Each structure stands twice: as C-alpha cells, then as structure tokens.
Amino acid sequence: MSLMRRWVFTPGTRGIRGLRLEAAPVPEPGQGEVRVRIRAACLNYRDQMILDAPQLRAKPHLVPLSDAAGEIDAVGAGVPTWRVGDRVVSVFFGGYYTDPPPDRLTMGLGAASEDGVMAEFVVLAATRVLPAPPSLTFVEASTLPCAGVTAWNALQGANPVGEGDKVLVLGSGGVSLFGLAFSRLRGAQALATTGNRIKRSGLASLGANEIVNYKDTPHWGQKIGELTGGVDRVLNTVGAEAMTESLAALRPGGEIAVIGAMPSTSPLDVNRLLAKAAVIRGIAVGSQAAFREMSSAIERHGLKPKVALVLGFDELREAFLAQASGELFGKVVLSL
Ligand SMILES: NC(=O)c1ccc[n+]([C@@H]2O[C@H](COP(=O)([O-])OP(=O)(O)OC[C@H]3O[C@@H](n4cnc5c(N)ncnc54)[C@H](OP(=O)(O)O)[C@@H]3O)[C@@H](O)[C@H]2O)c1
C-alpha cells in the first residue's frame, strides 16, 4: 500500500496548532470518482474561519482547504469524462450545476463532513472537478474555485455588469482582486476600498480608478458615492456590517452583491442569504410603466381588488379608526 501525506485538523482545536501533517494510504477512486494528484492548493478567508471554529468541522480528522489544481491520476469505473493526465481544478460545492443553488447546499470542500484538498492525492466525484484553464499554471488555476467563481458570479451572474458600469470592491482580498480584474475585462470602471496604505498602489496598478481607505474614512460609501455619482454594483465582501455604507455608495437601481459573512452585530442572517443566493431588492412603490403593466394584467385576468369597508366623505375619522383597528380584511375606501 503506498502512502501519501495529508494535512488534517485535530478534533476540537482552534488555530494552526490544531493542524497535523500525517501519512495516509493513497485513496482509490470508486465508481464515478477520480483521483487527483494535487499540484497546488489555495487558501481563502473561509479556511481561516474553519481553522478557528471547530464547530464548522463535523468530521474528526477533516482535511482542510477547498481550492486546488492538479492532474487526474486514476479514473474509477463509469467515468467516461476524464482521462489520466487531464489538468483539473476542484469544484467548491457538490450538486450546484446552474442557478438557483440546490436546497441543501453544503459548506463546500474542507468543511463540515467533506474532506478538503490539502493532500498529495484526493479522490473526488467525477463531477467535482472541472478543466483548469490551459493558459494557467497549477498555482494560478488553484486560485479560481472559490474566490474567482464568487467574483465572476457577483459580476456576471443574473445581472451582468457591462461597459462603463462602475463597480466597487471592498478591501483587497482574493474575491475583490478578481472583482477588479473581471470588472475591467467587461469595460467597467473599478473602485476599491482598503484599510492598508501599502496595498493602495497594488489596487491602482490593477486599474482601480478611486481608492478610499475605510479605516481613515468611516463613511467610505458616502465618499465613493460623492466621487462617482453612485456605483452600479458593490461587491460587499464584508457582509451586514458594510451594508449601510454600501448603500451610500450605490446609485438608484444599483445592486449590492452580498458575499461576506464577517462577524457582525446585525440581526440579518447573512449566511442564509448567501446559501439561498437570495435577492433582496429595494422597492419604492414603482414606475408608471409598472402601473400600466399591472393595469393590463388586472384587465386580462378580471382581477378585483379586495375592499373591506366603504365609508362616506364625512367619515374620514371612522375610516382611520377602522384601518388602525387591524380587524379589516381588505382596503378602506371613502366613496364620494
Ligand atoms: N459568499 C460566498 O460564496 C463567498 C465566497 C468567497 C468569499 N466569501 C467571503 O468574502 C470575504 C472575503 O473573502 P476573501 O477570501 O477574498 O478574503 P481575503 O483574501 O482573506 O481578504 C480579506 C480582505 O478583506 C478586507 N477587509 C477585512 N475587513 C474589512 C472591512 N471591515 N472592510 C473592508 N474590507 C475589509 C481586507 O482588505 P485590506 O487589507 O485591503 O483592508 C482583507 O485583506 C470573506 O468574508 C469570505 O468569507 C464569500
């Protein structure tokens, strides 16, 4: 039996002292599986969270990290799609092929009870790898599965940004740097915040037009709003804590892609929002176009509004009281 090296979390531990390098048998792929010889694995913020939170690890000796690139090393039975030597990257979630995501999204590779990729060899479902872009090295390709896909989805998913749009990315983390690059790719203008003076020039060299230090400027969103007249998209990699300033930066009709779930005192359950890929949309009544569409739908379908109470012109006080009573089922109308 040949052995390989892999990293595991020691059960119940927090931080890097809980990481252990051990020898383990090289795993054999079963039906529908492939074995990948890992050539590069990449860290994300979420791996730090899992490191520091044993409750996110349901398996006693979980293998960490979700993102890797490597080559197919052995192919299990019933896998026509892959050949030995194919260059692949890991896929973060199982079963999430197109939008919307499945009802029960896992936490991805390297969390809960799904072993990650920080091993010399890993066995994955054949559907849990995708071709690595041929122009990228293994090191480069390993950065894509989480940070790359997240930024792409936020910018090019249901509501793609385009030429001339303004995109704000928060901080200079992995997702944000992909966000900058993908925005520029689409001809959009990119703006960024950072709390780190030294990273300013890096952000500028990647094409950020404006950079605001969120530590020196607590109202960074308002500042971005003033500088730009409002951005079309915010990639909020912080989460609930950054919503107010993200809104301040946004133009009317703009979109905030909520990506981060950093610690926050907000009652908004951001984790549930992310897992459902839910869309929260602000509504300010609606336009004349909306009225026209509604009106013709009412006509087409013979819909009748529900009226609970009709009162006379001089019964305005009664109308208010009836409305405030909470007893009515339908609208209160004053008929003249
Ligand atoms: N929803 C999803 O599917 C998904 C996927 C990937 C990542 N995420 C989340 O997205 C976030 C970023 O992940 P990552 O892997 O890109 O992180 P990362 O590479 O570790 O980068 C973190 C960066 O965030 C910035 N930052 C930290 N606190 C901030 C704050 N209060 N305001 C603004 N920026 C702040 C810092 O930038 P500066 O040093 O420039 O200040 C820091 O370098 C995390 O919350 C992660 O959990 C979510």
CATH code, 3-142: 3.90.180.10
Query: CATH code for 149-275?
Result: 3.40.50.720
The atom of ligand 1 lying closest to the CA of 150 is: 5
Q: Is 30 exposed, middle or buried (0-12, 13-18, 19+ CB in 10 A)?
A: exposed
Distance between Cα 227 and ligand 1 center (Å):
23
Please state the atom number of ligand 1 nearest to the C-alpha of residue 192.
40
Mutation choice for ligand 1 from 45, 193, 194, 246, CB with most ligand atoms inside 8 A: 45
215 Cα to the center of ligand 1, angstroms: 15
Domain with CATH 3.90.180.10 in the chain: 3-142
- What's the pTM value of the predicted model, to 2 decimals? 0.94
Give distance in angstroms: CA of 237 to centre of ligand 1: 5
Alpha carbon nearest to ligand 1 atom 45, residue: 260
189-194, strands of its sheet edge to edge? 208-213, 189-194, 166-169, 231-236, 250-258
Q: From first to last of the 336 residues of the chain, give the pLDDT tens digit.
A: 899 999 999 999 999 999 999 999 999 999 999 999 999 999 999 999 999 999 999 999 999 999 999 999 999 999 999 999 999 999 999 999 999 899 988 999 999 999 999 999 999 999 999 999 999 999 999 999 999 999 999 999 889 999 999 999 999 999 999 999 999 999 999 999 999 999 999 999 999 999 999 999 999 999 999 999 999 999 999 999 999 999 999 999 999 999 998 888 888 889 889 888 888 888 888 889 888 999 999 999 999 999 999 999 999 999 999 999 999 999 999 999
CATH 3.40.50.720 domain residues, the chain: 149-275
Q: How far is the CA of 300 from the centre of ligand 1 (A)?
A: 49
Ligand 1: residues with CB < 6 A are 44-46, 146-147, 150, 170-175, 193-196, 199, 214, 237-238, 242, 259-262, 274
The closest residue, in CA terms, to atom 27 on ligand 1 is: 171
